[in-house]
Amino acid sequence: MGGPAEQPDFRSVSHAEDWPLWEVFIRGRRGLSHQHVGSLHAPDPELALQNARDLYTRRGEGVSIWVVRSTEVHASDPDDQGPLFDPPSDKAYRHPTFYTVPEDLQL
Amino acid sequence: MTAGVAGLSVVDLREVALGFGDDCLVLSHRLAEWTTHAPELEEEMALANLALDLLGQARSLLTLAGEADGRDEDQLAYWRDDRDFRNLLLVEQPNGDFAVTMTRQLLFSTFQELLYRWMVTGTEPRLAAIAAKGVMEARYHVEHARLWVQRLGGGTEESHRRMCRALDLLWPYTEELFEPTESWSRAADQGAVPPLSSIEEPWRHSIESLLVDSGLEIPGFPAWQSGGRLGRHSEHLGHLLAEMQHLHRSHPNASW
């Protein structure tokens, strides 16, 4: 049996390389699209899916799981927040709020 | 002897449910021992999930087993000594390293899934109901163990060496999986459980094909250890029970 002397030296293992980070997306029972729910570590896609199942669908949350290597996600730069997201804020006409709904329309 | 459903005697139903329930209970406890010791947080959650699935199955099976003489699941789990436990020797073997734990899981869960799959359409309705729920869980346990055995077998020189050692260590205990007790044989005659001989070939085929895919092989020596189903256990079970039963015996009937 593996006593203390048999324990591998985990410090010698390149953790980030062998157990990289994955982003997890779950589609719920009534959901139409996958939603980002969190991240986890796993050595490969199959185990990432298994781990996602154990970490994020324990209470019957999901019917479908996607996992994506975190390094494959390209994010917008927080410093660009102004140029990226401010321009539409004074263009209220882009919202569909200027239509008059006919009185007899059942929504 | 009182006849149960489908001509199965109450005593035989009790023995069958007890053996299988004890397998689940003891293996559940072994897996729970990994909590706070697992190699990765994610794997710790996976092992705890397996343990909880098995604990749920143990509760159903021990409740069924206890009906014959009016004992509940807690009395069966906490107030029997090792000689009265009917689990396989395989499931009480210590966790060892991760390769040993995954090998033990592969050998047992493959066996369990085959049994459950058969029992779903068996003649004993309560066993069939437990099997219908358990078969989905067992399928997942098998899948988890297979993924890891493949990776360890075909991984590094060190992981391969440990897988070989784990197989050599646990293989002797597989003989007992296919040795029916007298109660099991009578239950099989009644169609409540499968004849164990009918499970052996698919079990061996499933294990062997995985091992070959993983660069491993079934050990060349025969399996020979048995006795767990008759209450003759290795010394490991006594230590496990001491830990599992101590709190309950120190504070009988205490509740949260």
Domain definitions of chain B by residue range: 7-250
The CA distance from A18 to B42, in Å, is 14
CATH number of the domain that A61 lies in?
3.10.20.520
For residue B218, the tally of other CB atoms under 10 A from its CB is 14
Q: Is residue A96 part of a domain?
A: no
The domain tally of chain A equals 1
Q: Is residue A88 part of a domain?
A: no
Q: Is residue A61 part of a domain?
A: yes
Cβ of A42 within 8 Å of Cβ of B42? The answer is yes
The CA distance from B100 to B15, in Å, is 29
Q: Which residue, B193, B220, B43, is CA-closest to B118?
A: B193
Q: Is residue A107 part of a domain?
A: no
Q: Is residue A54 part of a domain?
A: yes
Q: Is residue A36 part of a domain?
A: yes
B97 touches A: beta carbon within 8 Å: yes
Helix (H, G, I), strand (E, B) or coil at A4: helix
Q: pLDDT grade, residue A2 (50/70/90)?
A: very low
Cβ of A54 within 8 Å of Cβ of B143? The answer is no
Q: Is residue A41 part of a domain?
A: yes
Cβ of A50 within 8 Å of Cβ of B46? The answer is yes
ipTM of the complex: 0.74
B125 touches A: beta carbon within 8 Å: no
- Phi/psi for B192 (5° steps) reads -85, -30
Identify the domain containing residue A44 by its residue range.
Answer: 14-73
Go through chain B and tell me how many residues it has.
Answer: 256
The CA distance from B171 to B166, in Å, is 8
Q: Is residue A4 part of a domain?
A: no
CATH 1.20.1260.10 given to domain B7-250: yes
Task: Give residue B3's pLDDT.
Answer: 46
B159 touches A: beta carbon within 8 Å: no
Each residue's pLDDT expressed in tens, for chain B with a length of 256 residues: 444 455 789 999 999 999 999 999 999 999 999 999 888 889 999 999 999 999 999 999 999 999 988 999 999 999 999 999 999 999 999 999 999 999 999 999 999 999 999 999 999 999 999 999 999 999 999 999 999 999 999 999 999 999 999 999 999 999 999 999 999 999 999 999 999 999 999 999 999 999 999 999 999 888 888 899 999 999 999 999 999 999 999 998 788 7
